Chains A and B, each alone.
Chain A
Amino acid sequence: MQFPLQSFNAVSAANPWTYVLFGLIGFAFGFTLEMSGFGNSTKLAAQFYFKELTVLKVMFTAIVTAMVLTFGAAGLGILDFSLVWVNHTYIASGIVGGLIMGVGFIVGGFCPTTSLASASTGKIDGMMFMLGGFVGAFLFGETEQYFTQWYNNAGFYGRLTLDQVFGLPVGVVVLLVVLMALFMFWGAEQLERLIGKKDMSHEPRLRLFGAGALFVGAVAVVLIGQPSLESRYAKVTFTRTVNAQEVSYSADDMLANRLVFVSPAEAFKAEYNQSMNPIYLDVRSEADYNLYHIENAVNVPLAHISEVIPTLLSEPAANSVFILISNDETAAVQAWKILVASSVPNVYVLEGGVNNWISFFAEDDPALQPNPLAGDDQLKYTFPAALGARYESCSPSPIEYENLTYDARIVLQLKRDKSGGGCG
């Protein structure tokens, strides 16, 4: 069984249990916040006068606990982290929005979820904050159109995680965050003692044990590491409907049964199919790409394919279909293995590659002469000049090729739609 459970990544009327599960998660969330004292605005605001650092302690304990468990489970291969939603990075709107939230926090004394915990226990200021929240969110909806370009593009980096930013293994980042949190807890207790005049002698000893357990857990995450591409590839499964029966295939079965190879005709028709958004990834060398490539194909040489995975995973359109192209199939199949092991959805390979494309669409182009000396996965044609996509067959006429028959291989697997943005 692979987590997260795909049937639970969104609510759906077809599966009422999804509402129950998310409701229970919310229940536990609200219960925990209230029992930690987050229904009380003075307790929250005290954080910002260094008197009582409950907010920092609760938040960071929660973050490091969940982080060690999450990356531990990912390292052990129980959890597929690439299927866990990671908020996209928008530097500009993130910083401005964060600063505005800080102002709202110190003025209002709550953040949105703590105001729920507060309002639900009868605190009138919590209700006022909630009410104000509805107005604020409404105002945002009304004004977003005036800065929508900036909002959606300024400093956009997609799914970007700290380990990628710092070029460190995930486990090491987890350990560093844990150490930072423990240091902040120590600092927070000093501040509470000095500024809050709190008697720290009765603090439970158990917290030292907890700190030790966290540290050990973080070191374990470093030692376990994250699963290799090979082990993830071995776990990938696909389902296809054969004779009205759902059949499950491993990735190697998909290749052996040629279920991931789309014919040139299907690859070409995908461009004109309203239900999908095909993205042609040309994994050949730049030299081959410059000689001849299919129109709109993006050149990502095989050696660089893993660098674009975060972009492919966050490719905004839910109906994106990736079609990998090499001269024959060898390099494209390798790229396919890397992408499916990284949980990129809807990845296919152009059957027979560029050579097959040319033989299908450019039979009668006298400029392209067969090159009998070509080896496997090399161009089987000679080109008079490196014209890139300017040969006629690079963008076949949709009128001339209107009626093509082929066995459709593409089965669109819809990715979750996160149009509401993170936090909803």
Chain B
Amino acid sequence: MTTATPATPQKAQYGPKPYVHPYFGGFVLGIVLFLAMFLTGNGLGSSGATSRIDAAIVDAISPSHVDNNPYLLKMAGGDKNPLDDWIVPVFFGALLGGFSSGLFNRRLKFETTKGPNISVRTRWLVAFLGGVIFLYGARLARGCTSGQALTGGTTLSAGSWLIMFSIFGGAYALAYFVRKLWN
């Protein structure tokens, strides 16, 4: 009597669509990356925009603090607008693109993605902490997985390959110790 359950296919029709095959996703991403480099000479990135948005906020609140900080000075000193950089439209474009894909594939939903054995609050806390740590490292390495691993890897930059292996190395080395978070 289990045949009379048309609810399942119907649900699939309205539920989120499945993700694309990883190789297909990678292929499309590769085309996007190639076009970015081909047209503009720059690849993809995002962590630089985080830094620049920070600099813009600091510059708005306390311009004198910018003047005393050489790192911020390079981006926001004098009449420089830290947001006037190609990475900023890429950043906001990526937010919009992610949203559109979510909309198109029916995945827009307020939820928390987490391992089965931690609470939602713990997940929020470690996500926040992970963000702090990741972006600190990304600025130290002058780029994140997009700017260094993906883009730098494609252009055969020696430093970028080193960074790519360091990212995977760091994550794999710690994975065992934080397995409770994900398993």
Contact = CB atoms under 8 A, between A and B. Distances in A.
Contacts, number: 591
Interface residues of B, number: 131
Contacts of B19: 35-37, 43
17 contacts: A4-B41, A9-B40, A26-B89, A32-B29, A33-B97, A35-B20, A61-B25, A89-B157, A94-B141, A96-B140, A108-B130, A116-B98, A129-B134, A132-B129, A141-B58, A160-B158, A420-B51
A210 B58 CA distance: 48
Interface string B12-42: 0000000111110111111111111111111
Contact of B126 (A93, A107, A112): A107
Interface in B113-128: 113-115, 120, 123-128
Nearest to B110: A122
A95 B94 CA distance: 27
Interface of B: 19-23, 25-55, 58, 69-72, 74-75, 84-102, 105, 107-115, 120, 123-175, 178-179, 181-183
Interface in A110-152: 110-126, 128-142, 144-145, 148, 151
A103 interface: yes
Contact of A118 (B30, B69, B98, B181): B98
Interface in A11-57: 11, 13, 18-19, 21-37, 39-43, 45-49, 54, 57
A423 B143 contact: yes
B157 A87 contact: yes
Nearest to A162: B156
A100 interface: yes
Nearest to B75: A420
Given A23-B92, A36-B22, A422 B102 contact: no
B54 to A, nearest CB: 5
A105 to B, nearest CB: 5
Contact of A29 (B23, B94, B113, B142): B94
Interface of B is mostly: helix
Given A26-B91, A35-B19, A104-B131, A141 B166 contact: no
A389 interface: no
Interface of A is mostly: helix
B160 A87 contact: yes
B37 A70 contact: yes
A27 B34 CA distance: 15
Interface residues of A, number: 138
Contacts of A10: 85-86
B25 A28 contact: no
B154 A135 contact: no
Nearest to B161: A162
Interface of A: 3-5, 8-11, 13, 18-19, 21-37, 39-43, 45-49, 54, 57-67, 69-70, 73, 79, 83-91, 93-126, 128-142, 144-145, 148, 151, 157, 159-165, 170, 173-174, 177, 185, 204, 207, 210, 416, 419-424
Given A59-B149, A85-B43, A99-B137, 12 more contacts: A26-B92, A26-B96, A27-B93, A30-B95, A30-B97, A109-B126, A116-B94, A118-B98, A129-B130, A132-B130, A140-B136, A141-B54
Given A59-B150, A112-B47, A142-B69, A35 B25 contact: yes
Contacts of B115: 42, 45
Contacts of B102: 34, 39, 120-122
A244 B127 CA distance: 58
Given A87-B143, A112-B145, A424-B49, A30 B98 contact: yes
